[in-house]
Amino acid sequence: MTADDSAANGLRPANIAERANARWKGVAAATLDDAAGVCRIECRPEELRELCEWLAEEEGCAFATLVVEETPGPAWSLSYVYYGAAGSPWIQVRPRLDASASAVPSLSGIGHGPAVDWHEREAEDLFGLTFEGHPRLGEFVLHEDWPEGVNPMRRSFDARRPPERREPEPAWRPPTVVTAQGSFAMPVGPVFSDFAESAHFLLETVGEDVIRTIPRFFYKYRGVEKIAEGQPVDRVLLLAERFSGTAAFAHGLAFCQAVEAIGGIEVPPRGRALRTVIAELERLRHHAAAIAGICNSTALAVAASQAALIEEDLLRLSCEAVRHRYLFGVAMPGGVACDLTQAQCRRLGDSVGEVALRLGKLHRMLRYSSSFLDRLEEVGVVSKEAALSYGLVGPIARASGVARDLRKLRPYAAYDEVDFAVPLEAEGDGYARLRILFAEAEQSAAIIRRRVSSLPAGPIRASHAASRAGTALAAVEAPSGAAFHWVRLGDDGTLARYRLTPPSFPNWHGFRLAAENFAFQDFPIILASFALSNAECDR
């Protein structure tokens, strides 16, 4: 059963807990917290793989994130988070680990194992946990200049003192896969021109087609989750909205929603409506930039310039509306930091309507450019099955037929008051991804125009509420896809643990699916069609 099947069957919150208890009677315990909207399933480590596979394959749930905490003892708390059809709860699978445990069964060998693969590698690097059966651990987040045995997310690690730098081995070579006679590996990156962040792609081949693509990120690992520990909410909000400039409002909003859930803060209707408007303005600007990047990758200079001009106009419009081109400082716990006047609403609605017309005209021109289409059609194909297995999200997943959008599955802000259909394509190639970008951009403009024409009256944020201890998971549909922010607040109101999973993390893992078995000259075009952020991985 796929996620789409589960949605059609209308799974309800109580069903998951009931079926889990019936199937693993005596070895697993599922409880439903209606208030928090969470189903918690505790199991023995030996049942972890089977239980998670059941959730993904039979219940049609999607893997969201892996939350690891080091608790006093020392001991470990692991939570594998899944989500299902609209109306269903968050599902947290927690293996019962004793205080001496330092290893957990890996999920890499099961059907949706690729979706969990990078999460396990990250936890091994940052916490020192071992995932038994994982085919490849080490040299992931922490590159070879990090000392062995240093795990920056452990309680014993002092973030104020930089670790001693280890000198790289002179004979070090990147790992390769292809061993055929005449094979060679071509490095791309990690240094790029323009504003692109660091990333390295090792392309292996025995001819003109790329056989294997090995991506490597984290050249600028910033330790955002570690820095957040012990910090007050307002300081961590600055971190949340600044580690990725292309989706600053989306990540700030997700963090605020987690804090609001813990504190029981209810955002007033006008604040929720404004959050929807600003989120769609960010999506519209992001997609215009992505379209410009795709046109530029095919050397279509005029089209690239037209899309870039649209992006610049949207940046100026953002600054005019909320005083920042990239929407920093707009999201805040309880609502938003600034309001829109009636004149600003009219200006915003008229401007995005004009942008939609310009994007529509550009799309029509591109559709009849045969040389442009030749570079995108049937290039960089990702099948629906592969997209589901790797847990791809956002426009990339929807271009492969995966109809998952958190604005529909788990409505937030004022999306429950917005009527829209999720754009979907089936081919999974570069042109399908471009069509999704155009369709979503048009949709964003329409949502903005409808919302600014009927903003509810009243305050834009809730009155200040005292902070309290607790945990919460919040999610938003960022421009590139689902973003998950998990927050634990301590008794003093500071962050005890902050876990964030941006959309670029799973999507970069799945990038190899599109890049392999295509020619070298296709690589930059496929790269542009994914429109992902390197900086999101370097969090």
| pTM for this predicted structure | 0.93
C-alpha pair distances (Å), 61 with each of 121, 131, 508: 22, 22, 21
Look at residue 181 and tell me if it is in a domain. Answer: no
DSSP, collapsed to helix, strand or coil, labels residue 276 as helix
Contact 396, 382 (CB under 8 A): yes
394: left (phi over 0), alpha (psi -120 to 50) or beta: left
Look at residue 167 and tell me if it is in a domain. Answer: no
Q: What is the pLDDT of residue 466?
A: 66
Among the three residues 106, 132, 158, which one is the final residue of a domain in this structure? 132
Look at residue 197 and tell me if it is in a domain. Answer: no
Judgement on whether residues 108 and 236 belong to the same structural domain of the protein: no
Alpha helices for 323-393 (secondary structure H): 342-367, 370-376, 384-390
Q: What is the pLDDT of residue 165?
A: 79
Contact 318, 281 (CB under 8 A): yes
Look at residue 78 and tell me if it is in a domain. Answer: yes
Judgement on whether residues 252 and 120 belong to the same structural domain of the protein: no
Look at residue 170 and tell me if it is in a domain. Answer: no
Taking all residues of the chain, what is their mean pLDDT, rounded to a whole number?
Answer: 90
Contact 61, 55 (CB under 8 A): yes
Q: What is the pLDDT of residue 20?
A: 85
Comparison of pLDDT for 440 and 520, the residue scoring more = 440
Q: What is the pLDDT of residue 234?
A: 93
Judgement on whether residues 126 and 236 belong to the same structural domain of the protein: no
- pLDDT, tens digit, for every residue of 2-19? 334 444 333 344 588 888
Among 165-174, 270-279, 505-514, the least confident range: 165-174
Q: How many domains does the chain have?
A: 2
Phi, psi of 214 (to 5 degrees): -115, 105
Judgement on whether residues 119 and 238 belong to the same structural domain of the protein: no
The pairing of strands 331-332 and 90-95 is unpaired
Look at residue 169 and tell me if it is in a domain. Answer: no
Among 144-148, 154-158, 251-255, 262-266, the least confident range: 144-148
Burial class of residue 145, CB neighbours in 10 A (0-12, 13-18, 19+): exposed
CATH of the domain at 126: 3.30.460.80
pLDDT band with cut points at 50, 70 and 90 for residue 357: very high
Helix (H) or strand (E) holding 245, with range, is: none
Judgement on whether residues 108 and 238 belong to the same structural domain of the protein: no
Contact 244, 502 (CB under 8 A): yes
DSSP, collapsed to helix, strand or coil, labels residue 267 as coil
Judgement on whether residues 505 and 381 belong to the same structural domain of the protein: yes
Round to whole Å and give the CA distance between 73 and 59.
35
- pLDDT, tens digit, for every residue of 170-221? 776 777 777 777 778 888 888 887 777 888 898 888 888 888 888 999 998 8
Burial class of residue 172, CB neighbours in 10 A (0-12, 13-18, 19+): exposed
Look at residue 282 and tell me if it is in a domain. Answer: yes
- pLDDT, tens digit, for every residue of 411-436? 999 999 999 999 999 999 999 999 99
Burial class of residue 254, CB neighbours in 10 A (0-12, 13-18, 19+): buried
Question: Taking 90 as the threshold, does the pLDDT of residue 163 lie above it?
Answer: no
Among the three residues 102, 132, 162, which one is the final residue of a domain in this structure? 132
Task: Write the CB contacts of 403 (distance below 8 Å, at least 6 apart in sequence).
Answer: 3, 4, 7, 422, 424
CATH of the domain at 466: 1.10.645.10
Judgement on whether residues 249 and 361 belong to the same structural domain of the protein: yes
Judgement on whether residues 525 and 411 belong to the same structural domain of the protein: yes
Look at residue 196 and tell me if it is in a domain. Answer: no
Q: What is the pLDDT of residue 74?
A: 64
Q: What is the pLDDT of residue 148?
A: 83
Judgement on whether residues 329 and 475 belong to the same structural domain of the protein: yes
Q: What is the pLDDT of residue 10?
A: 37
Among the three residues 91, 115, 132, which one is the final residue of a domain in this structure? 132
Question: Taking 80 as the threshold, does the pLDDT of residue 266 lie above it?
Answer: yes
Instruction: Kindly state the percentage of the chain with pLDDT values over 70.
Output: 96
391: left (phi over 0), alpha (psi -120 to 50) or beta: left
Question: Taking 90 as the threshold, does the pLDDT of residue 316 lie above it?
Answer: yes
Q: What is the pLDDT of residue 136?
A: 85
pLDDT band with cut points at 50, 70 and 90 for residue 71: confident
Burial class of residue 351, CB neighbours in 10 A (0-12, 13-18, 19+): buried
Domain that holds residue 252: 232-537
Token duo for residue 491: 């008794």
Judgement on whether residues 97 and 236 belong to the same structural domain of the protein: no
- Provide the strand spans (E) within 5-83: 28-33, 38-43, 62-71, 75-83
Closest CA to 252 of 501, 534, 485: 485
- pLDDT, tens digit, for every residue of 449-489? 999 999 999 999 998 766 789 999 999 999 999 999 999 99
